[in-house]
Amino acid sequence: MVKIAFVIDDLGLGGAQRQLLELVKRLDRRRFQPVLYALSEKKIALKDAFEKAGLSVILFDQRGKISFPVLFKLWKALRQFSPTIVHTYLFTADFYGRLAARMAGVPMLISSVRSTEPDKKQRYILVDRYLGRWCDAVIGNASCIGEILAAREKIKISKIYTIHNGVDLGRFPYPMQNGHLRKSLEIPEDAFVLGTVGRLGPEKDHRTLLQAASQLFKKNVKPYLLLIGDGPLYTSLVRLGEELGIATHLRWLGARSDIPELLAGIDLFILPSRYEGCPNVVLEAMAAGKCVVATRVGGTPEVVQDGETGILVRHGQTDELVEALSSLLQDPRRVAEIGQKARESITKAFTVERMVEKTEALYERLLQAKGISS
């Protein structure tokens, strides 16, 4: 039995957390024995889900700058559990997890990088450049991340692996309809409904989306827009919607856990991000059979085949987004056809089973290379 210690920043409702949950739910327990360490006692929305998956979950209260007590506690926990593999997710966990694993003499260290992070601070780059030398593997969820890690963090190419995110198709039965959603949100049954899911922060660029919606209104095209997620820009974005004169067609739904049901109630999905890794929300929208319009950033072009399984536009180009949406809104048949092809592409290449299989295969490959057996 190979013991694996997973270390992650927190157990909030983020994409990395959801992918880790899908991994541990399906990890071969005849071969691997996992335990989970999270570095937050506050962001624990998924804690029950991890425990329901059969994991021991240990929380540490990491705050602010470097916490030597947390580092010591994590080192002590690793010494007690004595894992063969430490697998870290997100920067804070990468930092504490790699240091503690090195101190505890853990034989194998794997780090996961989930985004291209073009605004990453230089001091964080230097930390990852140094600690990355200790890793046996660094996993990116898109090929473009591996290219960045090699160029920016100076990680050896031989250590870099790409494993795309995966979708649990069981959560997205196809076709799936949600006729109650529109009624509950006071949206006319015959209205065209757009949707987006993401943190209300600058990286997701909801501002460009709202400006595009405003231009559609000027063309006398007035779809409704569901904005799912919360974040620091909520107040300013609501104000922008009012200033643009489109507030009556906006629905701010906050952070939600019923994403499959919400996606079932929209006609078209939009992701206007400035940067991405392998975006879970795009995979989920495609799994739900929805046509996706997204920016050509990060790993999105690795998932969306432009013109076939979705439409790609340049980031920040409001006119391009308006043109794409205008064309689709006038052709519902094309929207449906693209959505069907999107679903088919997910079933072939981006299932959660495929993600788990590739991850387990990497574990086995690295164990064999080190001559480690259970």
Under a CB-based contact definition with an 8 Å cutoff, are residues 274 and 315 in contact?
A: yes
Would you say residue 37 has pLDDT above 90? Answer: yes
Q: What is the pLDDT of residue 65?
A: 79
| Burial bucket for residue 239 (CB in 10 Å: 0-12, 13-18, 19+) | exposed
Q: Could you state, in order of their start, the residue ranges of all structural domains in the chain?
A: 2-166+351-370, 169-349
Please report which confidence band the pLDDT of residue 165 belongs to, taking 50, 70 and 90 as the band edges.
very high
Under a CB-based contact definition with an 8 Å cutoff, are residues 228 and 13 in contact?
A: no
State the Cα–Cα distance between residues 92 and 342, nearest whole angstrom: 34
Would you say residue 374 has pLDDT above 90? Answer: no
What average pLDDT does the structure give for the chain?
96
Average of pLDDT values for 293-306? 98
Determine the 3-state secondary structure of 85 from DSSP: strand
Establish whether domains 2-166+351-370 and 169-349 are of one fold.
Answer: yes
Would you give the distance in Å from CA 139 to the centre of its chain?
A: 14
Query: Does the CA dihedral 148-154-157-160 come out positive or negative?
Result: negative
Helix, strand, coil percentages for the chain (3-state, nearest 5):
45, 20, 35
Interval 94-137: pLDDT, tens: 999 999 999 999 999 999 999 999 999 999 999 999 999 999 99
Provide the CB-side half-sphere exposure for 92 (13 A, CA). Answer: 20
The Cβ of residue 174 has, within 10 Å, a number of other Cβ atoms equal to 15
State the Cα–Cα distance between residues 136 and 159, nearest whole angstrom: 6
Question: What crossing angle do the helices spanning 206-218 and 318-329 adopt, rounded to 10°?
Answer: 50
Would you say residue 313 has pLDDT above 70? Answer: yes
Instruction: Identify the DSSP state of 41.
Output: S
Under a CB-based contact definition with an 8 Å cutoff, are residues 162 and 181 in contact?
A: no
Rounded to the nearest 10°, the torsion over CA 31, 36, 37, 41 is 180
Q: What is the pLDDT of residue 64?
A: 78
Q: What is the pLDDT of residue 171?
A: 94
Determine the 3-state secondary structure of 355 from DSSP: helix
The Cβ of residue 113 has, within 10 Å, a number of other Cβ atoms equal to 27
Of 141, 95, 92, 135, nearest in space to 116 by CA:
141
Q: Which residues pair with 38 in a beta bridge?
A: 8, 59
Determine the 3-state secondary structure of 89 from DSSP: strand
- Domain 169-349, CATH: 3.40.50.2000
Would you say residue 179 has pLDDT above 80? Answer: no
Interval 212-268: pLDDT, tens: 999 999 999 999 999 999 999 999 999 999 999 999 999 999 999 899 999 999 999
- Domain 2-166+351-370, CATH: 3.40.50.2000
Of 126, 165, 164, 127, nearest in space to 143 by CA:
164
State the Cα–Cα distance between residues 75 and 324, nearest whole angstrom: 52
Interval 318-367: pLDDT, tens: 999 999 999 999 999 999 999 999 999 999 999 999 999 999 999 999 99
State the pTM of this model.
0.94
Average of pLDDT values for 156-161? 97
